[in-house]
Amino acid sequence: MARGNQRDKAREANQKKLADQKKGNSMSGSEMQREKEKVAQKMREKQAAADAKKAAEAAGGKK
């Protein structure tokens, strides 16, 4: 019975190791850079929209 238990323990450890590998970052450096640029562009657009809205409210409040 000891061998069966050892096999089960080894299988569990291997499954845990494989699950940890899947959690890791799978993007290459260039893919990561493109993704960061895309997210940064979206944030710049959102910030510009917020600034425009704030400016419009300030202009509307002065009337």
Phi/psi at 26 (nearest 5 deg)? -105, 5
Q: Could you read off the pLDDT of 10-19 as tens digits, one per residue? A: 999 999 998 8
Q: What is the DSSP string of 4-55?
A: HHHHHHHHHHHHHHHHHHHHS----HHHHHHHHHHHHHHHHHHHHHHHHHHH
- Residue 16: other Cβ atoms inside 10 A: 10
Task: Give 41 or 26, the one with higher predicted confidence.
Answer: 41
Q: Is the dihedral of CA 41, 42, 45, 46 positive or negative?
A: negative
- Per-domain residue ranges of the chain: 2-62
Which pLDDT value is given to residue 26?
A: 74
